[in-house]
Chains A and B, each alone.
Chain A
Amino acid sequence: MGFPLLSSLIFLPILGMLIVMFLPKERHAVIKWTATIISIFPMLISFWLTWDYFFNYAGEAAMAYVEGPLNWIPILNIQYYLGADGISIPLLALTGLLSTVSLLASFNINVRVKEYFAFFLLLEAGMMGVFVALDFFLFYVFWEVMLVPMYFLIGVWGGPRKEYAAIKFFLYTLFGSIFMLVAILIMYFTSEPHSLNMLELRATGSAMPYSLQMVCFIFFFIAFAIKVPVWPFHTWLPDAHVEAPTAVSVILAGVLLKMGTYGMLRVSWPMFPEALRSLSFWVALLGAIAIIYGALVSMAQKDLKKLVAYSSVSHMGYCMLALGAISSVQAITGCMFQMVSHGLITGALFLLVGVLYDRAHTREIAAFGGLGAKLPVYSGIMVFFSMASLGLPGMSGFISEFMIFVGAFSALSKVMVGISVLGVVLGAAYMLRMVQRIFLGEFDQKRWGGLFEINIRETITVAPLMLLTLWIGIYPKPLNDLMAATLENLVNLMAR
């Protein structure tokens, strides 16, 4: 075993947090740059992992870069056990990238700078940890660790209703976590000898009696569904997104939501095949409802950020639809694609909304109009991502949606998929309405004459997202190959 790359993904941000904590409080610039530069290292490591995995491990489904298991709390058989495979690697890279990008986008934070950046790095550590943990206890710990900085980031630096949003987010997620904890405990006491090793528990789970499988599956599902969020557990999301500062919204949309779907793929799907088989239809149904419902609700929004937030609900609905199509590798691959692409696109949309908000101090769609003439570059980028979000070919959103549809069509009720496709039209409708009302039409010179164009730092933050969106959209094969073996294995596990 070589250098513990996965551990360093977790502990570098923590180290960074400590460093930031020891910096003098008033030196804002120093703190900002330190945090950003530190966060570049995990990003580079995650990129290197992607690269290395692609060339050396992508063909096999086994865990790579395994660290441990080291006994951590031996009396409970809790281990420090990390590993990565085809479904965690892309998400790690996404996390690394988005963390750096959002730190870069946080440079306009001016109150309690030190705390903000320290929390942010802690958050990054938590997210990385969730994606690499192979021990349930460890997984749970990281899952919760991430909540705390999130709570403060929303609650301290958020918008006008930040306290409400933060508490709602925290309690809601915690509510779900409790179910997860119970399910973990059930698993723990069922396994013989008692174990918390996720990979070993797959065998335990599938050997459990049907009723117990159902209970565990549903408990896990509630925990993860709240995080995704699956309709009808989604109402924390618009509040949290809208009140959170820009960078935090980016992380929320880009990474946190993925943890729910990741959890399903990593934990509950391969563990309880029987329960999964009898419930997969309902999962897909929830997904289909979320697609249509999210799109409709976001059509009715007047607040730009809320619109994007509800579009997240709709987009994560695609993931759920795909997760319901358990027999199709294509759908599951599409789900992974959608996770990555939603992270990129919605992350970028939030960044851009933040850019506009910084200048105009309002997010009301009706307040704008004709910005295309005044801010051509900004409008161009925003239109680009709107198009990506509504699934224009040549961008990642299209690839993922199409894969999901193709896969789901073969595995699920045709009518349901047919109805879900409506989401594509509705998506076009709300995105275009938004674009039209903000960028097209008459320009109000008196009110918005003072707006200025997107600056270099902001452009740098969205540029990588743009490139990746295009890359995945035009040449999705590498990403597909990266995950193919793992997903095939997963589908086989689900089909047990």
Chain B
Amino acid sequence: MTENAYLIPLLPLFAFVMIVFFMRWNEKLSSGFSIAMILISWVMALVVLIETLGRYGEPYEAFYYITAFNNINFEIGLLVDALTAIMLMVVTTVGACVEIYSLGYMKDDPRFSRFFAYLSLFLFSMLGLVLANNFFMIFIFWELVGLTSYLLIGFWFEKKVAADAGKKAFITTRIGDLGFIVGLLIVAFYAGTFNFGGVFDKVASGVIPAGIITVAGIFLFCGAIGKSAQFPLHVWLPDAMEGPTPVSALIHAATMVAAGVYLVARIMNIFVGSAEASMVVAVIGLITSFIAATIGLVQNDIKRVLAYSTVSQLGYMIMALGLYGYDTAHGHHSAGYVAGTLHLMTHAFFKGLLFLAAGSVIHAVHTNDIQEMGGLGPKMKITSVTFMIASLSIAGIFPLSGFWSKDEIIATTLQHPVFFVFTLLIAFMTAFYMWRLCFLTFFGKPRDQHRFDHAHESPRVMTWPLAFLGFLSIFAGWVAIPWLPHGYSSFVYHGEMHHAAPNILLMLISTIVAGSGIVLAYFIYYKEKISADRLAEKFRPLYTLLYNKYYFDEIYQFLIIDPLMKFADFMWTFDARIIDGAVNGTAWLTILWSNVKLWFDTWIVDGAVNGSGWLVRQGARILRFLQSGSMQFYVLFILIIIVVTGLIKFEFIRIDIQWPVITVVFVLGVTLLGILSRLAAGKEGTAQRLEQEE
């Protein structure tokens, strides 16, 4: 099956093509076909996973097409190792769940078919990205997921905010891609290949100077910053929540944003080669995680809270991977790689679930504002239960899957005290804001009676995926239970396998931290022992700062966008006034000069020409009498000329002037003669003719 892994992305592409060209008029057919394709992909991904497990994660690489080009290979190929297999599984699982869920969520949308087409296209790009075996291909799919993300965020493009958000997402990630491209250029230039293995060999062999590796690593990481919404480019992700909720679940929580993390994990060899680059990665991850967590504390839009939570968790993973690179570069062993990738997987499941459940709630109450919800738990049993499972999981409560991955990450930071402290703090805040969400939404009294009355449990197509993901949120992390002899860490690893001994004390600490966060939320938002408003009042400046997301958008607007637009306008003015002005000025000068010439021309040069023209006209007025139309007159004329010619030719008359003069005189004379004769009789003839005609 592994050798046919290329089919996994191609099936959704097939679905996309079929829908766009043949099925788009039939909603049932297009959605059904799209779901069927992703389910087949899912089964195939499962088989691939099992086969990869059977090989103990031995990488499988296939090349389909290579073209050498000025000593750089461009190729299309597959790379299936354990990381890939797991990512395939994650993407297809969440993808399938989301597509099924969308059957219910998007039911009445006028562009239903198109939605499924976009989803299929996205899944194609994402799966392609995961399977790519070289930088070039990964970049291509990287951009394609960006495109589909753009299309899906702006799916309800009639809403200006949605359209704006789509544009913002695309451009912001593109800024990251800018770095990615430069990184690719550096890689291509110094390594001479795009193939992962080839590049890593070059890095490991020390052919490439260390400084270059650092620069390349940081530039490549820029791509991840953009795509995974890391500081300072994190601003697009919360806005992206304007898209339909299934899209948020699939793209902006579970898969696409994880692509940045996947990229860092995939090119870990480069970071391993440079401690500095790794440190940059880790620090960026930590900053992002902390900022996002603090912002998440005070937001009121349910999806935005989840979005900031996503940013925060992604920062976690990035940090773990960065620390792994840093440690390994210094020769230590570290659990960071395992932790990061494991969290990538578990996070995909529970965050997907959280979004889908949130979507279910929004579907029921038609608002995103948690201040208008409350007490929905009894009315929406499945939704609330699964939501709470996911919240427990993300908070890292034993024994849900989030616990195992989070624990690994915290274990990674043990050797770095600063990181350790912040990590625990973030874990605390995560637990707090997630449960703040839970309590405000599902417990207590309804704060908006009208909306509450309206609420109802979602249809089964929506709840079943929730249940399935809930199941995964509980059990997916169990593969990494440290006591398992052949657990996750013996399967997904980087470099040498390293089996970390379980650290029970650490597990205890992390659980206590998470639990205390939940308890605090419980007191504030359920028991209302501590007034949230009073707290906010007390820390008003901090609250305002957090509530306005550290004013990132405003700062960007003020510092970058406005000056850029002003600059663009200035350039346009410059272009129109100065450069074009120079051209037009030259033209003006030329025209001025030509006006002078024109005067000269009109009165002197043209005067001569016109004068001769005038002469000719006047002459013609006389000469036209010659053209009488009378044959006899012509004959007479000919005769006269013959006679005169004869006279001169045979020297009856001796004229000692040059022949041109003779000719002129002769012609003039004859002409005059003819004219005179015509004039003499012309009137009479004309009169006669007129009579005849009458």
Instruction: Give me the interface of A with B, judged by CB distance under 8 Å.
Output: 168, 171-172, 232, 234-236, 293, 296-297, 299-301, 328-330, 333, 370, 372-373, 387, 392-394, 398, 402, 405-407, 409-410, 417-418, 421-422, 424-425, 428-429, 432-433, 435-436, 439-443, 477, 480
Contact = CB atoms under 8 A, between A and B. Distances in A.
Contact of B154 (A297, A433, A440): A440
Interface string B174-217: 11011001101110110000000000000000000000000000
Contacts of B567: 296
14 contacts: A168-B583, A172-B583, A293-B575, A296-B567, A329-B70, A330-B72, A393-B142, A402-B136, A422-B178, A433-B167, A436-B154, A440-B162, A442-B158, A477-B67
B143 interface: yes
Residue with the highest number of chain B CB atoms closer than 10 Å, among A234, A297, A387, A424? A297
B641 interface: no
B580 interface: yes
Given A406-B185, A428-B174, A297 B568 contact: yes
B64 to A, nearest CB: 12
A407 B70 CA distance: 9
B22 interface: no
B189 A299 contact: no
Contacts of A370: 157-158
B178 A441 contact: no
B572 interface: yes
A235 B579 contact: yes
B675 interface: no
Given A299-B568, A428-B170, 19 more contacts: A168-B583, A235-B575, A235-B580, A235-B583, A296-B572, A297-B568, A300-B568, A328-B70, A372-B157, A393-B143, A394-B144, A425-B174, A429-B171, A432-B150, A432-B167, A436-B167, A440-B163, A441-B157, A443-B158
Given A171-B587, A394-B140, A480 B69 contact: yes
A388 B492 CA distance: 38
A235 B577 CA distance: 10
A197 to B, nearest CB: 31
Contact of B182 (A333, A407, A418, A435): A418
Contact of B171 (A301, A373, A402, A425): A425
B565 interface: yes
B178 A421 contact: yes
A443 B182 CA distance: 40
Nearest to B179: A421
A440 B143 contact: no
Nearest to B157: A440
A421 B177 CA distance: 10
Contacts of B162: 440
Nearest to B110: A373
Given A300-B568, A392-B143, A425-B174, A406 B72 contact: yes
A405 B185 CA distance: 7
A392 B140 CA distance: 8
Given A405-B185, A424-B181, A432-B171, A297 B571 contact: yes
B160 A442 contact: yes
Given A372-B157, A425-B174, A393 B144 contact: yes
Contacts of A433: 167
A417 B185 contact: yes
A234 B582 CA distance: 12
Contacts of A418: 182
Nearest to A302: B572
Contact of A373 (B69, B141, B158, B175): B158
B74 to A, nearest CB: 9
Nearest to B147: A392
B157 A300 contact: no
A228 to B, nearest CB: 15
B139 interface: yes
Nearest to A232: B579
A392 B144 contact: yes
B272 to A, nearest CB: 24
Interface string B66-93: 0101101000000000000000000000
B178 A398 contact: no
B569 interface: yes
Contacts of B67: 477, 480
Interface of B: 67, 69-70, 72, 136, 139-144, 147, 150, 154, 157-158, 160, 162-164, 166-167, 170-171, 174-175, 177-178, 181-182, 184-186, 188-189, 564-565, 567-569, 571-572, 575, 579-580, 583, 587
A235 B579 CA distance: 7
Nearest to A491: B70
In the A-B complex, the 7 residue pairs with the closest CB atoms: A440-B163, A393-B140, A300-B572, A440-B157, A235-B580, A409-B185, A300-B568
Given A300-B572, A424-B181, A436-B164, A330 B69 contact: yes
A387 B167 contact: no
Contacts of A394: 140, 144
> Helix, strand, loop or mixed for chain B's interface?
helix
> Helix, strand, loop or mixed for chain A's interface?
helix
A405 B143 contact: no
B172 to A, nearest CB: 9
Contact of A432 (B158, B170, B184): B170
A267 B461 CA distance: 67
A393 B583 contact: no
Given A410-B189, A480-B69, A441 B160 contact: yes
A300 B143 contact: no
A407 B71 CA distance: 11
Contact of A428 (B142, B144, B171, B188): B171
Nearest to B143: A393
A406 B67 CA distance: 15
Given A296-B568, A392-B143, A409-B185, A236 B583 contact: yes
Given A300-B565, A407-B70, A424 B160 contact: no
Contacts of B184: 406
B92 to A, nearest CB: 22
Nearest to B150: A432
B555 to A, nearest CB: 18
Contacts of B141: 393
A247 to B, nearest CB: 25
A398 B157 CA distance: 26
Contacts of A410: 188-189
Contacts of B189: 406, 409-410
Contacts of B580: 235
Residue with the highest number of chain A CB atoms closer than 10 Å, among B140, B185, B188? B185
A427 B587 CA distance: 32
Contacts of A443: 158
A235 B586 CA distance: 13
Nearest to B185: A409
B110 to A, nearest CB: 9
A300 B160 contact: no
Contacts of A428: 170-171, 174
A425 B587 contact: no
Contacts of A372: 157
Nearest to A409: B185
Contacts of A234: 579
A446 B308 CA distance: 40
A330 B72 CA distance: 9
A236 B587 CA distance: 12
A171 B157 CA distance: 45
A372 B157 CA distance: 8
Given A392-B144, A436-B164, A442-B158, A293 B174 contact: no
Contacts of B69: 330, 333, 480
Contacts of A409: 185-186, 188-189
A387 B147 contact: yes
A435 B150 CA distance: 12
Nearest to B151: A383
A299 B158 contact: no
Nearest to A171: B587
Given A293-B571, A328-B70, A424 B178 contact: yes
A370 B163 CA distance: 10
